[in-house]
Amino acid sequence: MDNRLLAQEWQKIAEMDLLSAEHLLTMHPIPIEVICYHCQQSAEKNLKAYLVLHNQNPPKTHDLDELCKLCQKFSDTFKTIADICSDLTTYSVQPRYPMKFILEEQDMRKAMKNAKEIRDFILRLAPEMMAK
């Protein structure tokens, strides 16, 4: 499979994570932690898709800061999303386990906004990655 097609597969799964997060908004009570987790997962997969597009084997990490830095090797513009990558990294593990980690609806809304912003940024940079 060529890099473009593999990147599209990664992006397709990233989009499913984001659609799952949006669907979970219909539940009562709203599973804020799970939505934040899916937003982080979407961003992670979009960053990894960009790396795959550039013939890089993405590392097995949930650290969006690290992934963003790796993407900067191909486009310096990734610096513009570094802060939102940092914000979302928090949701990779902590919300999935019983810990003292309190999230509120405003955190969830920001996570959704950030995940969409990362997706849109990457697809503007590499439209060929858009899943079909």
- In this prediction, residue 55 carries a pLDDT of 96
What are the sequence ranges of the domains in the chain? Answer: 3-95+104-126
- Decide: residue 117, CB within 10 A, 0-12 exposed, 13-18 middle, 19+ buried: middle
Superfamily of domain 3-95+104-126: Nucleotidyltransferases  domain 2 (1.20.120.330)
Q: pTM of the prediction?
A: 0.93
Which pLDDT value is given to residue 117?
Answer: 98
**131 pLDDT exceeds 70?**
no
User: What is the structure's pLDDT at 26?
Assistant: 95
Q: If we measure between CA atoms, which residue out of 128, 127, 119, 131 comes closest to residue 44?
A: 119
pLDDT digits 0-9 by tens, 80-117: 999 999 999 989 876 555 556 678 999 999 999 999 99
Residue pLDDT, tens place only, 38-77: 999 999 999 999 999 999 999 999 999 999 999 999 999 9
Cβ atoms 81, 64 nearer than 8 A: no
Residue whose C-alpha is closest to residue 112's, from 7, 8, 5, 23: 23
